[in-house]
Amino acid sequence: LKINTPKMKLYSTNNKDLRASFQEAVFNSMPQDKGLYMPTEVPKLEPEFIDNIETYTLPEIAYQIASTLLKDEIPSADLKALVEEAANFDAPVVKLDDETFVLELFHGPSLAFKDFGARFMSRVMAYFLKDGEQLLDVLVATSVHTGGAVALGFLGVPNTRVTILFPKGKVSELQRLQLRTNSKNIRAIAVDGTFDDCQTLVKQAFADNELNARFRLTSANSINIARLIPQTFYYFNAYAQMKKQGFKDVVFSVPSGNFGNIGAGLLAYKMGLPVKQFIAATNANDTVPRFLATGVYETKPSVQTYANAMDVGAPCNWVRIMDLFKEDRNAIKALVKAYRFTDEETLAGIKEVFEKFDYVACPHTAIAYLATKTFAKENPNDASAKVFLSTAHACKFPEVFPANILAKISLPAQVETLKNNPELYDELGKDFESFKAYLLA
Ligand SMILES: *Cc1c(COP(=O)(O)O)cnc(C)c1O
């Protein structure tokens, strides 16, 4: 008897006829046509599950979502173990007042929400490596926060090795601490150059025949579908926490740069998460708010702001959102309000949250807070709970805060522990030949 086991299939946003398995999509990151992978079908979660969601834990919720999306791609016992490891830290909703809540997504190893994506992706990749297959080599150039999350996401994951390049002398104290964990399967290289030089070295390595013949290389790219999926987990989990507190109507305000985070929220919505409204909150890099207002999608070079993880002029996940809504801008506008804030407003937002709630919000988080205020002003009769997402711990941005607020930021235990690790880097110039020789050595 042959049983047909259904599995997740993906297409490219540039070619709806393409069919890729989840495994292919994970290892390729991006289809060859440079579109983005999307599931051919967005399955709904069981109504009984949504109706009783407040009785489930975060790993249980994560398992329900992952198994509904992936179908029989990974056997259930393995998938359960995988999500338990990936989502092994809390994502609490903290009450600030009767209608204002903050969803803290910074309790993972790198103190930012990207840990959800990085930890899940690393374990999925390791899972798909066949027995006896060579080591998976992950090459990353650190940008502001992704590098740390990826390095820590792969830390200790069997059969994987991460090589992380960072510009010497140009990363913050905390980033350096996070890169110190390179004792196990992570090695860090201080490159005598800029971030762009690091990125060029990584690109050259991917294009090099000899290196590709010798190693199984992957980029663990930020548009990998295995980073998007686990970001749906915390939306369901936050909704469960709000329901437990008696709220039925929830608004999520999401600080947005590449629109992966809010993209996952919208995927969760399509899978049956009852959300009344989403708010996309940006800094001065406001391509999406302008598009929703005018219908003209015009990317611009990014400008630098306090909320630097959102300094994105061409948000790479936006095509996924358009795809989810079948290119219907009005359908998106009905569900997603979008607002942008200047650095001056961001700083005022940080001060307001501190004075009103005795709470320290990172600049990205403060922007999401400000957006809930604008939304409430425009919708004075809206009685739903406003939940803004806190995407990073404030200690990652010491340069932004006035002294009185800075004094109130305590270093989380994870950081204190990092200080005990030895400082182990290798140092290289910015020429490709040295990097290649290093990899081959
Ligand atoms: C990456 C990041 C964002 C932006 O998330 P997107 O998924 O790119 O929209 C916001 N805040 C912090 C702290 C980040 O690291």
* Centroid of ligand 1 to alpha carbon of 221 (angstroms): 14
Instruction: Output Rg (C-alpha) for the chain, integer angstroms.
Output: 21
DSSP helix/strand/coil, 388 = strand
Which mutation among 36, 259, 261 tests ligand 1's pocket best, with the greatest number of atoms within 8 A of CB? 261
Sign, Cα dihedral of 384, 385, 389, 394: positive
Strand order in the sheet with 136-141: 216-218, 136-141, 160-167, 186-191, 425-428
Which residue, among 183, 180, 162, has the nearest Cα to 171 in the 3D structure? Answer: 180
* Centroid of ligand 1 to alpha carbon of 312 (angstroms): 10
CA 256 to ligand 1: nearest atom: 9
CA torsion, ordered 360, 363, 368, 370, to nearest 10 deg: 80
CA 362 to ligand 1: nearest atom: 13
Pocket lining for ligand 1, CB < 6 angstroms: 112, 114, 145, 255-261, 309-310, 364, 391-392
Strand partners, 427: 190
CA 312 to ligand 1: nearest atom: 8
DSSP helix/strand/coil, 171 = coil
CA 106 to ligand 1: nearest atom: 13
* Nearest CA residue ID for atom 15, ligand 1: 309
DSSP helix/strand/coil, 39 = strand
* Centroid of ligand 1 to alpha carbon of 432 (angstroms): 30
* Centroid of ligand 1 to alpha carbon of 331 (angstroms): 24
Which mutation among 36, 102, 105, 113 tests ligand 1's pocket best, with the greatest number of atoms within 8 A of CB? 113
CA 263 to ligand 1: nearest atom: 7
* Centroid of ligand 1 to alpha carbon of 441 (angstroms): 36
Bridge-based pairing of strands 100-104 and 385-390 is parallel
pLDDT one digit per residue (tens) for the chain, 441 residues: 555 668 999 999 999 999 999 999 999 889 999 899 999 999 999 999 999 999 999 999 999 999 999 999 999 999 999 999 999 999 999 999 999 999 999 999 889 999 999 999 999 999 998 766 778 999 988 765 667 788 889 988 989 999 989 888 877 777 777 776 556 788 889 899 988 899 899 989 999 999 999 999 988 878 999 999 999 999 999 999 999 999 999 999 999 999 999 999 999 999 999 999 999 999 999 999 999 999 999 999 999 999 999 999 999 999 999 999 999 999 999 999 999 999 999 999 999 999 999 999 999 999 999 999 999 999 999 999 999 999 999 999 999 999 999 999 988 887 777 777 777 788 999 999 999 999 999
Which mutation among 391, 395, 396, 397 tests ligand 1's pocket best, with the greatest number of atoms within 8 A of CB? 391
Q: Give the span between the Cα atoms of 164 and 61, in whole angstroms.
A: 32
pTM for this prediction: 0.94
